[in-house]
Amino acid sequence: MGVADIEAESITVPIIPNRPLQSADETESFGHVSLRRNGITGLIDNAAFDPETIHYDADYQNNQAVSSLFAEHMKQVRDLLKARYPAGTALVEVGCGKGEFVELLQSDGHFKVRGYDGAYEGRNPCIEKRFLTADDRLDADIVVLRHVLEHIQRPHSFLTLLSDVFAGAEIYIEVPDFAWIEKNQTFFDITYEHVNYFTPRSLASLFKSVEQHGLLFGDQYQFVIGRFEAGDFSAYGRAHDEPQNWTPVTFDETFPAFSSVIEDILKQSDGKQVYVWGAATKGVMFCHHMKRMHPTAFGRIVAAIDINPKKAGRFMPSVHLPILNVEDFCSSASQDALVIIMNPNYRDEIVAELNDRGFGDVQYISV
């Protein structure tokens, strides 16, 4: 696909929406999203993605473990792995982020666990602050890849590298489910950071046979367990490299419900203060598209709310809305404010939190 084709089919988005701004006038970077679908593997990717534009640092805040609901999700993954692998199994998490899952496994004691991530900030001796290379040769029974593969261009090439590093191991892969995104019309889940979007078929087709697969976290996530020796990475690569296997996926045709969502917000928000609960990727992308396509609706939003303490006091990329913690929201919001919940999985948790703080009259829209 040439540059002209990419520009014709693309939308412009913030490159790292999960990196809150220190100030509203901070310099930002934007990139293009131009989706295409592979007819052989089923993979959807961003043809306009440039990995050189992505730079993760200490300001990148993707930690969801501050939510009790997400903490329960991590425990579910732990228990799923414990049911399959005996005590003493050597487990390595590649791309372990802030290390929350590694530490959860350490506290449980079932696995011999290590982690690797070049963006790691902590001091856990079981986690190495680096990325793996083709020169590494490491022992593991099971490799865990949680929400990593959607960030990596040519995912089959990365899995080929890991199959050399961890020869003979099994691998657990967890990624968002594009089938859920499309069914629920969550257009804000399309982000520059995610170069890949997997359906259950496209994820499973990485392997000649899979050991286990399923859905998690209200069906928003999917997982597969396979053996590296059963990887079909070469065939995946050949299908990936043939230009005729790809067809464009347009934003408007894939997500026709966007306008009706905005109309609902306009109707319910008349005369009210409007807040967006969730200043992570979903919230930033939702507000970005709203500002781009419906500036009147966007103009009613006062601020975003986030329970991650490292986001409070900063600003959302692209749209520059201030990010409040729950205490600051409660001290400034009216009792009849409208709260747009970016992930319906968290609705009960959010409603309970605000009810406990005396905000029983708040109205909610889950998108």
Mean pLDDT across 165-177 = 97
Cβ 73 vs Cβ 346: under 8 Å? no
Q: What's the CA gap between 118 and 128, in Å, rounded?
A: 8
Count of C-beta atoms within a 10 Å radius of residue 254:
16
Is the pTM higher than 0.85? The answer reads yes
Asked whether this chain's domains 68-248 and 258-366 adopt the same fold, the reply is: yes
Instruction: Give residue-wise pLDDT tens across range 124-134.
Output: 999 999 999 99
* Whether residue 63 has pLDDT greater than 60: no
Residue ranges covered by each domain of the chain: 68-248, 258-366
Q: What's the CA gap between 63 and 65, in Å, rounded?
A: 6
Residue 15: half-sphere exposure toward Cβ, Cα within 13 Å: 14
Instruction: Give residue-wise pLDDT tens across range 257-311.
Output: 888 888 889 999 988 999 999 999 999 999 999 998 899 999 999 999 999 998 9
Identify the band that residue 2 occupies on the pLDDT scale cut at 50, 70 and 90: very low
Structure tokens at 338: 């409208």
3-state helix, strand, coil in the chain (%, to 5): 35, 20, 40
Amino acid identity, residue 70?
F
What is 68-248's CATH number? 3.40.50.150
Structure confidence at residue 58 (pLDDT): 63
Q: What's the CA gap between 286 and 186, in Å, rounded?
A: 9
Radius of gyration of the chain (CA): 21
Orientation of helix 100-108 relative to helix 68-84, angle to 10°: 60
SS3 at position 222: strand
* Cα angle: 253, vertex 258, 264; to 5 degrees: 150
* Whether residue 67 has pLDDT greater than 90: no
Q: What's the CA gap between 127 and 95, in Å, rounded?
A: 10
* Cα angle: 344, vertex 308, 113; to 5 degrees: 95
Strand partners, 91: 113, 142
Asked if CATH classification 3.40.50.720 holds for the domain at 258-366, the reply, yes or no, is yes
* Whether residue 50 has pLDDT greater than 70: yes
* Whether residue 6 has pLDDT greater than 70: no
Mean pLDDT across 80-106 = 97
Residue 126: half-sphere exposure toward Cβ, Cα within 13 Å: 20
Residues recorded for the chain: 367
Instruction: Give residue-wise pLDDT tens across range 316-349.
Output: 999 999 999 999 999 999 999 999 999 998 999 9
Which strand (E) or helix (H) includes residue 249? none
Which strand (E) or helix (H) includes residue 281? helix 281-293
Query: Where is pLDDT greater, at 67 or 83?
Result: 83
